[in-house]
Amino acid sequence: MGAAAAGLLLIYNSVDSGSPAESASGQAAPPAATAAPTPGAASATPIPTAPATPKAAAQGAAAPPLKRAVPTRLRIPQIGVDAPFTELTLNPSGQLNAPPPDDKNLVGWYRDGVTPGERGSAVVAGHVDTTKGPAVFLLLSLLLPGNKVEVQRADGTVAVFSVDSVETFSKSAFPDQKVYGKTPDAQLRLITCGGTYDKKRKDYLDNVVVFAHLESSRRA
């Protein structure tokens, strides 16, 4: 997901348990990932790199981008999220591995992409639910413009993002440039699954995407 990326793929990984209240997650894959279907994965959308301007309420002034630092914890007070990060890597097929499905309170970021706070669109993925029940991003769609998202980083800083918009997109018509395009400032994308659960495909039909920009930073 870095500035040098030639393209991206959105990968959808689901955990089937027979009911939409108990299964699904959505992941964003890194540059040059492949889209070969695997058990538990649905479709993939190629995403070329391009400028992105998310539809939103008037965006406040963006803070200067931060230096690269590994994210360690995600906090979203408005929806009760307080979760550690895990690094997401590619599997042998070139797809992004999802966060472990047995941990309901875990978010992931692609370790070779933009870190939250760096210039560009940093992507954070999390399960909406798993076979064990509701998961970390269950209430993601309830966020509102102006809500805050905090990312604690390994360098001792906390990057504070302000939500610009929350949108739902069909996976069959995912607006790749809008979500993953290059940006002149530090932005954040939080992604999970949403919409109707298709039992036949064992996947949700939509993705919920939160668009946010870096508003400030502070020492932890």
Residue pair 198/204 in contact (Cβ under 8 Å)? The answer is: yes
Alpha carbons 50 and 180: distance in angstroms, whole number: 8
**Phi, psi (5° rounding) for residue 117?**
110, -25
Residues spanned by the domain of 22: 7-49+62-219
Residue 57 domain flag: no
Residue 173 domain flag: yes
* Residue 162's pLDDT band (cuts 50, 70, 90): very high
pLDDT 10s digits, 24-62: 333 334 432 223 232 222 233 333 333 333 444 456 788
Residue 1 domain flag: no
Domain count for the chain, please give it: 1
pLDDT 10s digits, 93-150: 765 677 888 899 999 998 888 999 999 999 999 999 988 899 999 999 999 999 999 9
**Phi, psi (5° rounding) for residue 215?**
-100, -35
Residue 2 domain flag: no
DSSP 176: H
CATH number for the domain spanning 153: value is 2.40.260.10
Residue 56 domain flag: no
Cα dist from 117 to 44, 64, 162, whole Å: 27, 9, 12
* Residue 201's pLDDT band (cuts 50, 70, 90): confident
Residue 110 domain flag: yes
One-letter amino acid at 7 equals G
The tokens of 140 are what? Answer: 């993601």
Alpha carbons 100 and 42: distance in angstroms, whole number: 17
The whole-model pTM stands at 0.76
Cα dist from 143 to 19, 39, 135, 147, 194, whole Å: 25, 32, 16, 7, 14
Residue pair 190/179 in contact (Cβ under 8 Å)? The answer is: no
The tokens of 90 are what? Answer: 């590619």
Residues of the chain with pLDDT > 90, as a percent, come to 53
Residue 213 domain flag: yes
pLDDT for the residue numbered 155: 98
Rounded to the nearest integer, the mean pLDDT of the chain is 78
Alpha carbons 130 and 106: distance in angstroms, whole number: 12
Residue 139 domain flag: yes
* Best CA proximity match to 114, nearest among 156, 63, 151, 61: 151
